[in-house]
Structure 1
Amino acid sequence: MTTRLTTRLTTSLSKRTGVRRGVRTVGGVLAAGALTLTIGACGAKNSNDQVEGGGGSSVTDQFADCTPGDGSADVSQMETDGNKSLTLAAFNGWDESFAASHLLKYVLEKEGYSVDIQELDAGPGYTGLSQGDIDVAVDTWLPVTHESYLKQFGDKIEAQGCWYDNAKLTLAVNDDSPAKSISDLKDMGDDYGKRLVGIEPSAGLTEQTKKAIPIYGLDDWNFQISSTPAMLAELKKATNAGDDIAVTLWRPHWAYDAFPVRDLEDPEGAMGDAENIFNFSRTGFDDDNPYVAQLLHNLVINDDNLASLENIMFSDDHYGGKNKDKAVAEWAEAHPDFITDWKAGTLGGK
């Protein structure tokens, strides 16, 4: 695909659906132009993007629950596909989208495939998928964040299994700090300087945190709204110095591998429920590429593997978002059992 296709998809999206503009970050670098989240009754999400609309619907009810790796099978006895030229969509501003896409590319190119990864906003990505210009997108968040895309394009795209079931908003602290739950913070303000370090003001995570603050009696805390790079810099500085810190964060994120950090329990459910991440393909993909379709159903990336992969790809201490193929190759070579288990269809039990 070419730049002309990207332009056509973007133009098509602007004509067909209204969006709300927002910001998202890639590897800690602010990326303008991502589509911001609508916070729905089913639970707010991070600074991810979503088309206007939301709420429960029959279109996405079927995706509210998933078992990563469901439908897995050993591909060792399968022939690879006759069609070995594939185009994947990776969504701008979504680190896990690039991590999973380049990981799939790495494995397929070892099998003789030619894989082109197009970097697109989510809307143009779904448009291309529905029109058959894109074969696979590996980063559909359901049942809330991408619900409206499913309403618009659901009859023209096909699910290929889910690979992650813990996508959520969090408040996090350094691992050796005293608080275990968000409810602990009210009586432990002195340990954290009564300061909560946030990200961009337009992020869905920021808006949801504002709603959680009064629920947990943290109105006298200083909610420091800044940017993702600034939050990560503060987190790095505090953990290096052995100081206690509380930040807004979300899963999946490479910070969980780069820093000694853990989530606080959320007994009131104020930060929203976890979502699932699905693979979707163009229609007819199962018939054209049964081998790759089975690999997609086999794919499961747990928190530890995803955080370590994203850390190598996006943190400034490693590749900083550059040379993504080289970063994935380095990670894969250090995790050979992951690739073996993926092909054997046994990642779901890991």
Structure 2
Amino acid sequence: MSHALISRGALGVATIVMLGFAVASGTGAASSTSAVGNGDEQTLSIGIHSGWDEGIAVSYLFKAMLEDEGYTVTTTEADPGVVYTGLTGGDFDVNFDMWLPNTHADYLETYGDQMEQLGVWYDQARNAIAVNEDSPITSIDELAANADLFGNRIVGIEAGAGLTAMTKDKAIPGYGLENMDFLISSTPAMLAELKGATDAGENIAVTLWSPHWAYDAFPIRDLEDPKGLMGEAEEIHSVGRTGFAEDYPTLSSWISAFKLDDDQLFSLENLMFNENGGSDNDASARAWLEANPTFVDDLKAASASAS
């Protein structure tokens, strides 16, 4: 996820304005009653949160898998508020990126009774202060005493990010890090600093979140957070419009069984957004499936065993 967007948990005017775009884009929910031979409707519309990398990656992964099964799949990226409004209004069929219990709590409270919960595919989504893998410290509570080893700074991301606010308002005062420079910049700038430091074998501390492709691309690890000031781990849920399971019984069983571990998710994101720069998400998803040739069969087997 791009945590520049995580703070946008409340519904607002922008949601209403952008909804017109989503509806006008012509990528509404499945209207065809034709089936693909397994009882599912043939057409599927996926609503994707703009800038939330894990949701983009998983959406295009499903798009590739489903197209191989004969489905016709469309994708639309928009602000989370637009996606949830469109989902409950029937303009989208499914979304793979509802963070609970905290990040998208407002949307769950507002729209929860108009959605179908389809499954949890990742349960370790969290904010962190990350360091180079060979860092001399293992916990945030060691950082203040070793600040000079990290250039006396923590490299952050966008000012409006929820991760930035959590670091500034909770972690820094809670762990006595006020004397360190907290550099608020941008996600690309933070990643550039991270790459430069790890390439040079230097210590660095950055604000980061999981899931993110940086964990696959760079030799890094999270510092322990003994006081829990960076927040608890969240789950990432898949949600469908009302009637989704009835219209897509087979796909619903696949989504329910769908899981990605860290190695799978980080490698998918790294391929899609780092190596390929987000330039062709369809091709990236297919390349990942080619590199993981048993993934679809394993998913179907897991779905069948759960039935």
Q: CA deviation at 1:97?
A: 0.8
Deviations 1:122-173 (A, max 9, x none): 1111111111121100100111111111111112110001101111100000
Residue identity over aligned pairs, in percent, reads: 51
State the match for 2:143 in structure 1: 185
Contact 2:40 2:249 survives alignment (8 Å)? no
Q: CA deviation at 1:264?
A: 0.5
State the match for 1:320 in structure 2: 277
In the TM superposition, what are the counterparts of 1:153-232 in structure 2 within 5 Å?
153-210=111-168, 211-232=170-191
Contact 1:164 1:278 survives alignment (8 Å)? yes
Distance in structure 2 (CA, Å) of the matches to 1:341 and 1:306: 16
- 1:266 has 2:225 as partner: yes
Contact 1:81 1:289 survives alignment (8 Å)? yes
Quick one: which amino acid aligns to residue 253 of structure 2? Q
Quick one: which amino acid aligns to residue 158 of structure 2? E
Cα 1:224–1:302 change in 2 (3 A) is same
Moved over 6 A (4+): none
Distance in structure 1 (CA, Å) of the matches to 2:6 and 2:211: 17
Quick one: which amino acid aligns to residue 329 of structure 1? R
Contact 2:5 2:161 survives alignment (8 Å)? no
- What is the DSSP-based 3-state SS (H/G/I as helix, E as strand, rest coil) of the residue aligned with 2:98? strand
- What is the DSSP-based 3-state SS (H/G/I as helix, E as strand, rest coil) of the residue aligned with 2:294? helix
Deviations 1:39-79 (A, max 9, x none): xxxxxxxxxx31159xxxxxxxxxxxxxxxxxxxxxxxx96
Deviations 1:272-298 (A, max 9, x none): 111110000011111111011011101
- What is the DSSP-based 3-state SS (H/G/I as helix, E as strand, rest coil) of the residue aligned with 1:248? strand
- 1:102 has 2:38 as partner: no
Contact 2:40 2:251 survives alignment (8 Å)? no
Q: CA deviation at 1:185?
A: 1.0
Distance in structure 1 (CA, Å) of the matches to 2:125 and 2:261: 11
Contact 2:42 2:71 survives alignment (8 Å)? yes
From 78, 93, 99, the counterpart of 2:51: 93
State the match for 1:331 in structure 2: 288
State the match for 1:130 in structure 2: 88
Deviations 1:222-247 (A, max 9, x none): 11111111000000000001001000
Distance in structure 2 (CA, Å) of the matches to 1:148 and 1:207: 18
State the match for 1:50 in structure 2: 9
Distance in structure 2 (CA, Å) of the matches to 1:157 and 1:189: 47
From 24, 27, 38, the counterpart of 1:80: 38
Q: CA deviation at 1:194?
A: 1.3
Q: CA deviation at 1:338?
A: 2.3
Structure 1: gaps (5+ residues): 1-23, 27-33, 38-48, 54-77
Structure 2: gaps (5+ residues): 13-35
Deviations 1:1-35 (A, max 9, x none): xxxxxxxxxxxxxxxxxxxxxxx849xxxxxxx75
Quick one: which amino acid aligns to residue 198 of structure 1? G
From 128, 137, 152, the counterpart of 2:110: 152
Distance in structure 1 (CA, Å) of the matches to 2:178 and 2:91: 49
Distance in structure 2 (CA, Å) of the matches to 1:194 and 1:35: 28
Greater Cα shift, 242-251 or 329-338? 329-338
Greater Cα shift, 302-311 or 183-192? 183-192
Distance in structure 2 (CA, Å) of the matches to 1:345 and 1:152: 33
From 97, 109, 113, the counterpart of 2:71: 113
Distance in structure 1 (CA, Å) of the matches to 2:213 and 2:56: 13
Quick one: which amino acid aligns to residue 291 of structure 2? A
Contact 1:81 1:292 survives alignment (8 Å)? no
Contact 1:195 1:222 survives alignment (8 Å)? yes
Cα 1:36–1:174 change in 2 (3 A) is closer
Q: CA deviation at 1:193?
A: 1.3
- What is the DSSP-based 3-state SS (H/G/I as helix, E as strand, rest coil) of the residue aligned with 1:345? helix
